[in-house]
Amino acid sequence: MADILIAGAGLGGLTAALALLRRGHRVRLFEQASELREVGAGVQLGANGTRLLIALGLRDTMQQVVCAAVGKEVRLGTTGQSWPTFDLGESSVERFGAPYWMVHRGDFHRVLLDAVRAASPDAIRAGDGCVGFDQTGAAVTLHLASGAQASGDLLIGADGVHSRIRQQMFGLGSAHGGAAHFTGIMAWRGLVPMQRLPPHQRRLVGANWMGVGGHVVTYPLRRGELLNFVGVVERDDWREESWNQPGSREECLRDLANWHEDVKTIIRNIDTPYKWALLGRDPLPRYAQGPVCVMGDAAHPTLPFLAQGANMALEDAVVIARCLDIDENPEAALRRYQYARLQRTAAIVRGSSDNTKRFHNPALGSPEGAAAYVEREFLPEKVKQRYDWLYEYDALTVAL
């Protein structure tokens, strides 16, 4: 069994830890935050992600906190006209063998954290993040902010979009190091207790409101007690890539002034809307270097327009664990992981960028043009072509 170091105890790092602990490896996680919690935001988990959580034994605990929405729909941002696009209830289980869950990021993080601690009470070291690493022969040594060090057979960089591990592997500021470009888009996010909304807005349905120069995504969380809101607008004067920068309801309403009253009702009921700039990055050409690899947002940060960021991290985690089942040599296992994941993750990153144009199309400027556009772009066969390949992928059985 391997002695594995993981930099970062977010969703991806914890899932990797759990998958590896279940296989008998020794795992130690190092997290810079002293308080292990996630920000208040929603996460969508397609069948490609939920089947992995179920396989890891988390079905019951996840079902206590998720919302299994009954469907998704497209709505026109100005008039509110709606078109159904997905049946997410029984259909996801019937077609893909696993449910579609919508979950509060903090609730999801807590489920994973509790599972890792139950498997290995001392696995997580909080308040001491990584600042770099060294490779000496077959061993890798992680350098920590406190000045301490930890050595193991293998290091997994799960330290997020601003990954120190990726920067050291590929070069800070280079394309391979994750150099970012501003997309010209920023997003608002917030949570609203369902009881604050009028009855017609309390449905357990995810909605993608589309319009010229922006779109809005809403979906229920925490058994239907909360509504998650994301408002995406084309705006070039805010370039801070942070999830924790508070804005104001007034500013958010100005950005979405021409949108339907239902959208504005949601915004008025958000306690604090947060804003963040959306930066794009080209896919990396490789994820591994010797006994060191990156995963999740550290490897393939993506725009949120396919709702696959968290799912990709779960897939990475399970594939890394499976590769170590096949190859005891860490370098060989990580090469296998890299080859297994590069093509799929790059396709998701590019597909997420492509959806920006689809959701902000000029044809959405009039009800007549929007109806023709939605009926053309969201025909059942086109929707299947665009999304089924995401949910059909099974990290538990994919060839490695």
Q: Cα-flanking dihedrals φ and ψ of residue 342, to 5°?
A: -60, -50
Of 397, 208, 163, the closest CA to residue 307 belongs to 208
Residue 219 is a catalytic residue: yes
Q: Which position among 100, 219, 274, 387 bears the catalytic label? A: 219
How many alpha carbons lie under 13 Å from residue 333 in its C-beta half-sphere? 25
The angle formed by the CA atoms of residues 238, 241 and 243, to the nearest 5 degrees, is 105
Active site members = 219
